[in-house]
């Protein structure tokens, strides 16, 4: 049983020549998406490239990496002929060291104010000149204080000033988090220390300041953002119970006998692990139990153990029974409308881990480590659940999935599906997207894999630009029913090209499927656009991926005719005069 090892950990242990060899092998394999990354830098930072390639390719993303000219950051931004403009990247990474920004740095009495102002202007300039996501770095404080150990003004020495600059950068990124991300060099330096980070030899010889451990962690942070951008974030955490959520076996040891007490070992480890689980729940990750127990034993712990942080209300679903876990997983995926590749499974039992890993290879399987002290931070360390921007919908998602489970139970009581759908009192709110919806829309384009006709991923800047253009139409769908509000869960993007309207993107979150909302949404948007644009004909596309088979005949079902078909996808066409709005009475449309 090989347990999950992140590419961060693997790359760290490989000699450079083997890493390069590994990268060239991975490059020969297929990948399901691509990303363009442009570094603007005042140092030699090309050493990051093999690590970044390794992390991206391992995640199935093919990176195209370019480096702007050495120490020509402003020129690259301003020059219309630079790659930044003629081949726009998805992500721009600024790699800046203070030694190059300010020649006076490290001299006595140095202050950071001028650099703070310069950086903020630079960030604004860059944000205005590109639609890409922007990653900026913090600075590494000096490892040696200039005043030694004896008293001086610690607030205004170089370390204090660097802290101030870093605080300003962090505040800027937090205030612009829809566009900016942080590569926290200060944190990476803390992680590996001076010996693991600083390559003074190549700094003085070639302005290449970093050793491989640093470069690996830096690349890892960039790759985490890329994976979030490309919708690779995991969405659901499935947990075993005995020896996973607590120490011991509750069915044998009883409520008093299990280890979960935060004041004693090893209960404190499991208690802290539960805290990590709650942190992920806060971020919108669905928490699910899948264990072989008597259900009432598990509830007794969650409801009554004084040190159990995890409670029943945190759970989106559970399978507490004696069936095999692979079967339970398939049921859970179906119930939650999620692909198995968005699942992370934690279990202590090697046999269970192996069963799930071999029968359901898309699931990320993590075994509780033998070195139990490594367990509490395990889930946060590898960035499995990173998303670009935690939105209000993320935080509400767990609750919405619980309502979804109630809906499915309700469905069983009705004879016909229409009768059931009528009872739901469905209301679809469809209107041209507003600027307040841009973040959520971009997030949906990045994360939606299954009901997604073209799987085009867009950053917020791009969506915002579509909103400002008259030949682009962006529509949002919100759904409520008697059980609650599902929030913004559908997006349609159309482009007017002369007398033809092209449907660029159409996607719906899986949790609202099965109610014919997609039919109503499509036709309502097209009707609104026909009135506004006066187009004669609609053109639709289906671009197949591993995940979106369920929509391969969607346009056929909507009355479109195939005009071209190849491995790359299908093109469809529908004259406006032939389009018939559906007669679906159980959905009320509002604008």
The footprint of another protein (CB under 8 A) covers 15-18, 20-21, 24, 44, 46-47, 201-202, 205-206, 208, 212
Provide the 3-class DSSP secondary structure of residue 572. strand
If the CB atoms of residues 18 and 497 are measured against another protein, the closer one turns out to be 18
If the CB atoms of residues 20 and 326 are measured against another protein, the closer one turns out to be 20
If the CB atoms of residues 27 and 124 are measured against another protein, the closer one turns out to be 27
If the CB atoms of residues 79 and 199 are measured against another protein, the closer one turns out to be 199
If the CB atoms of residues 20 and 513 are measured against another protein, the closer one turns out to be 20
Which has the closest alpha carbon to 321: 291, 350, 348? Answer: 291
Contact 509, 485 (CB under 8 A): no
If the CB atoms of residues 205 and 561 are measured against another protein, the closer one turns out to be 205
Contact 185, 140 (CB under 8 A): yes
Residue with tokens 């951008």: 229
**In whole angstroms, how close is the CB of 17 to another protein at the nearest point?**
4
**In whole angstroms, how close is the CB of 42 to another protein at the nearest point?**
16
**In whole angstroms, how close is the CB of 302 to another protein at the nearest point?**
50
424 vs 420: CA distance, rounded Å: 7
Q: In 10 A of CB 556, how many CB atoms?
A: 13
If the CB atoms of residues 17 and 416 are measured against another protein, the closer one turns out to be 17
Q: Is the dihedral of CA 283, 289, 295, 297 positive or negative?
A: negative
If the CB atoms of residues 47 and 141 are measured against another protein, the closer one turns out to be 47
Greatest Cα-to-Cα distance within the chain, rounded to the nearest angstrom: 84
What is the full DSSP assignment across 434-486? Answer: PGGGHHHHHHHHHH--SSBSS-----HHHHHHHHT-TTEEEEEEEEEETTEEE
Q: Which two tokens stand for residue 455?
A: 């799987």
**In whole angstroms, how close is the CB of 212 to another protein at the nearest point?**
7
**In whole angstroms, how close is the CB of 20 to another protein at the nearest point?**
5
**In whole angstroms, how close is the CB of 56 to another protein at the nearest point?**
18
**In whole angstroms, how close is the CB of 81 to another protein at the nearest point?**
24
Dihedral pair phi/psi, residue 73, rounded to 5°: -60, -50
**In whole angstroms, how close is the CB of 34 to another protein at the nearest point?**
20
Contacting residues for 180 by C-beta, under 8 A, at least 6 apart = 123, 127, 133, 134, 135, 136, 172, 173
Give me the residues paired with residue 539 across strands.
Answer: 502, 573
132 vs 89: CA distance, rounded Å: 6
């Amino acid at each position: 049983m090989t347990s999950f090892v992140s590419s961060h950990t693997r790359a760290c242990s490989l000699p450079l020549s083997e890493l390069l060899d590994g990268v060239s092998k991975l490059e020969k394999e297929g990948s399901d998406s691509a990303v363009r990354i442009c570094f603007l830098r005042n140092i030699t930072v090309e050493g990051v490239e093999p690590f970044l390639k390794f992390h991206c390719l391992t995640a199935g993303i093919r990176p195209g990496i370019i480096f702007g000219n050495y120490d020509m950051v402003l020129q690259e931004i301003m020059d219309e002929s630079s790659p930044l403009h003629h081949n726009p990247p998805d992500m721009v990474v600024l790699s800046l060291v203070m030694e190059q920004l300010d020649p006076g740095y490290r001299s006595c009495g140095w202050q950071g104010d001028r650099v703070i102002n310069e950086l903020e202007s630079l960030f604004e300039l860059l944000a205005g000149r590109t639609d890409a996501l922007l990653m900026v770095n913090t600075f590494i404080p000096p490892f040696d204080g200039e005043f030694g150990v004896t008293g001086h003004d610690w607030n205004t020495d170089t370390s204090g000033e660097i802290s101030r600059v870093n605080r300003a950068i962090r505040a800027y990124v937090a205030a612009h988090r829809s566009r900016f991300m942080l590569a926290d060099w200060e944190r990476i330096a803390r992680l590996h220390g001076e010996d693991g980070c600083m390559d003074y030899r190549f700094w003085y010889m070639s302005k290449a300041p970093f050793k491989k451990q640093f470069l690996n962690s830096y690349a890892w942070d960039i790759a985490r953002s890329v994976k979030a951008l490309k919708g690779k974030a995991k969405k659901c955490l499935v947990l075993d119970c005995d020896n996973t959520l607590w120490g011991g076996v509750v069915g044998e040891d009883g409520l008093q006998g299990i280890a979960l007490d935060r004041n004693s070992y090893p209960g404190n480890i499991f208690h802290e692990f539960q805290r990590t689980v709650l942190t992920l729940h806060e971020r919108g990750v669905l928490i699910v139990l899948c264990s072989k127990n008597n259900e009432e034993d598990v509830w007794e712990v969650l409801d009554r153990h004084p040190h159990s942080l995890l409670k029943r209300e945190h759970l989106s679903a559970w399978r507490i029974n004696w069936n095999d876990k692979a079967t339970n997983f398939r049921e859970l995926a179906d119930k939650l409308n999620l692909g198995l590749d968005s699942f992370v499974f934690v279990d202590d039992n090697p046999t269970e881990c192996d069963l799930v890993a071999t029968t359901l290879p898309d699931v990320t399987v993590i075994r509780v480590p033998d070195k139990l002290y490594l367990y509490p931070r395990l889930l946060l360390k590898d960035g499995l659940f990173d998303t670009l921007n935690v939105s209000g919908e993320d935080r509400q998602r767990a609750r919405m999935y619980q309502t979804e489970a109630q809906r499915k139970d309700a469905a069983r009581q009705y004879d016909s599906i229409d009768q059931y759908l009528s009872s739901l009192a469905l209301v679809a709110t469809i209107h041209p997207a507003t600027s307040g919806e841009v973040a959520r829309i971009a997030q949906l384009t990045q994360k939606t894999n299954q009901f997604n006709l073209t799987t085009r991923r867009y950053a917020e800047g791009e969506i915002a630009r579509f909103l400002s253009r008259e030949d682009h139409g962006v529509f949002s769908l919100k759904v409520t029913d008697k059980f609650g509000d599902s929030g913004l869960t559908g997006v349609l993007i159309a482009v007017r090209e002369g007398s033809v309207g092209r449907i660029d993107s159409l996607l719906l979150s899986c949790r609202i499927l099965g109610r014919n909302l997609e039919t109503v949404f499509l036709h309502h948007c097209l009707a609104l656009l026909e009135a506004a644009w006066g187009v004669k004909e609609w053109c639709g596309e289906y671009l197949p991926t591993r995940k979106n088979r369920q929509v391969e005949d969607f346009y056929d079902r909507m009355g479109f005719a195939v005009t071209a078909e190849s491995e790359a996808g299908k093109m469809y066409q529908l004259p406006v005069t032939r389009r018939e709005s559906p007669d679906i009475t159980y959905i009320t449309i509002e604008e």
